[in-house]
Chain A
Amino acid sequence: MSSGPPPNVAIDLDLLEKEIEANEQSRKQQTYTDLSGNIAGVTPPTRTRSQNFDPSADPDAEFDTLDEPVWDTIRRDLRLVGAKFARVLKPDQNKQLLRDWDLWGPLFICVLLSLLLQGGVGGPHFTEVFSITFFGSCIVTANTKLLGGTISIFQSICVLGYCLLPLAVAAIGCKFVAFSSSPSIKLTIKLVITAVGFGWAIFASMGFLAGSQPEKRRLLIIYPVVLFYFVVSWLTLSYAS
């Protein structure tokens, strides 16, 4: 076939490109579960997920939030963090909230846990607990990535950090138990509280991490997460008093 007139070729090329992009998109969505997400606070609520990344729309979004008062920014971020806390405490089907990752929540929780668990006679120092919680979640994330998980690094750290919230609540609970009755009852109550926190944390994080692992390595990825929460639970049980 001889080549057609140039305008037809140009239109055909455009259509062709759009087709190729659409094919790639659908192919990508078939192989992975869609785990795309942005850092929280940047995404305006009107933007849909299926659109292509449009660079021209982004500077507008940034300028929208650049001029607002600081208090508005802080309040919006706090509200997002609070929403994620609520999401962890009541795991429901909406997984999008945790895909918009942020690291404020994990930071708050790690600092809170470290303050609660540090000190005491033979207990760990602040840095020891903070290292275990924060860098522990980093190491577990690295393990997931190395084994071929499709979740992004920051999303994984975000999820692991937020799911430490039940354990932080358990630590606060254990601190209040310390002011009551006989030792064995105290120990039993602490044990129950910590066990509930541990189970809750595992349940919340499994709900999110479930879809992102290769099938033959599920146990290999799940085990370090369980170990991580177990160690933090032991720290809570031993040192929150």
Chain B
Amino acid sequence: MSNLQFQDFNFGDLADSPFTAASSNSGQDYKPANKQHSIIPGLVGNTDEGSATTTSGLQNNVFSFKFYQQYFDVDTEQVQNRLLNSFIPKWSKNFITDYIQPLPDLYGPLWICITLIFSTAICGNLAHYIDTNGEGDSRPGNDFSLVTGASSLVASYVILVPFFIYCLLWYRKSAIQYSYLEILCAYGYSLSIFIPVSILWVVHYQWFRWSLIIVSLVLSGTVIVQWVWSAIKTDSNRMVAYGAVLGTLGLHALLAIAFKVAYGAVLGTLGLHALLAIAFKEFYFDSVILPQGRSSAPTIDSLPSTLSPQALVASSALAPAPSSNNTQENNVKGVAQNAVQSEQNKKPVADSQVRDDSQTQGNEKTNLTITEPKESTKAQLTSSSNKESKNEDGKPLQKNENNDETKKINQEHNTTTIKE
């Protein structure tokens, strides 16, 4: 009987009491004391951990207001502390145990994510506006989709990645098992550095943008790695330990790069969107105007020869720019930047194509330029089978598919061949 002793659960700086949520079990025996720390602190009756909320402890119904109120029990100073320390790595300090415990808050992650979403969207549009130098009063094409895209990205990152980390720590019975909300809180705060970074991304130098990413990644990544590592370093399988750290860093880097690409992708998606708009408009316009003046029977023999070099040329460069024609320049610029502007430009171009068909060579160039972007549309957007059908002598295939765009391309090349 005398060898029954009270086991001391003091681990390093967790010297408070054996019953704090981060109480480390040695991982050997799965004590029922583990149940005290659950996925969400507050659902299971925790002992009072110094939280100044309700008198009945933290045991509350999920559907009651008080349940959520306990996660907003922070003061301005606490939030500021957590914010600042989330991207300032201190040597051998653990962000979660130092700043987030005993009670994680949801105020920080929620408002940091919302701020980040809108700052990314606003500064992305601003950067784009500055890049195009405010051409007219051009409204970029997929403007508002930056908001919706950024919100999906940020929300899924902040909700899913902590869940994976929590599952990993739980499965490996790691030394320190944080609760899910603590990890979520830490991740939310660690995104805070991307807010000033996204504002600074407006500056148009690529090297500056990349260096910003690297600096922010290093800072916030270090903080994250510190607490992940201290939880998982005693794992028996070193591969799991290193893999967890590397995976966390990798995901964080992916997020940062995704933001950067989202800025750059504004141009790319604009281009595609503009091309689609042009293609649709051209088809509609042509199908109305063209068949009045000429025979609409496509000469398919000439089709492959005219199509294939253009397809190859256009597919290698999205926005071809070799021409001295003014309308071509307008065309290319409109394609690359602004759907509205390009549509407006397309109208006079198409008009000139229709009316001046019997005239000079300038129209040939215009026709060729019209087809080139469309070819790039086709090259990029349609499947390879369509391409093949055009490249070969695709007569039976074209008779079978009533493809709108194929018809339109036929008409285009029809005009070209007729003039030639």
A-to-B contact residues, CB < 8 Å: 120-124, 128, 143, 145-148, 178, 183-184, 186-187, 216-220, 223-224, 227, 230-231, 234, 238-239, 241
Contact = CB atoms under 8 A, between A and B. Distances in A.
23 contacts: A120-B139, A122-B140, A122-B142, A122-B144, A122-B145, A123-B139, A145-B65, A146-B68, A146-B71, A146-B72, A148-B69, A148-B72, A184-B134, A186-B137, A187-B134, A216-B77, A217-B74, A219-B76, A220-B76, A220-B79, A220-B107, A227-B114, A230-B118
Contact of A122 (B107, B118, B122, B339): B339
Q: Which 8 A-B pairs have the closest CB atoms?
A: A122-B143, A146-B72, A216-B75, A124-B144, A122-B141, A121-B340, A219-B76, A122-B142
Contacts of B76: 216-220
B225 to A, nearest CB: 29
B111 A223 contact: yes
A78 B139 CA distance: 37
Contacts of B147: 124
A120 B111 CA distance: 29
B137 A241 contact: yes
Nearest to B148: A128
Interface string B134-156: 10110111111101100000000
B115 interface: yes
A110 B107 CA distance: 26
B125 interface: yes
Interface in B289-342: 339-340
Interface SS majority for chain A: helix
Contact of B141 (A121, A183, A186, A230): A121
A227 B74 CA distance: 19
Interface in B134-182: 134, 136-137, 139-145, 147-148
Contact of A123 (B72, B114, B136, B144): B144
Contact of B111 (A227, A231, A234): A227
A135 B125 CA distance: 24
B69 A123 contact: no
Contacts of A216: 75-77
Nearest to A219: B76
A77 B92 CA distance: 63
A151 to B, nearest CB: 15
A220 B134 contact: no
Contacts of A147: 72, 107
A128 B151 CA distance: 13
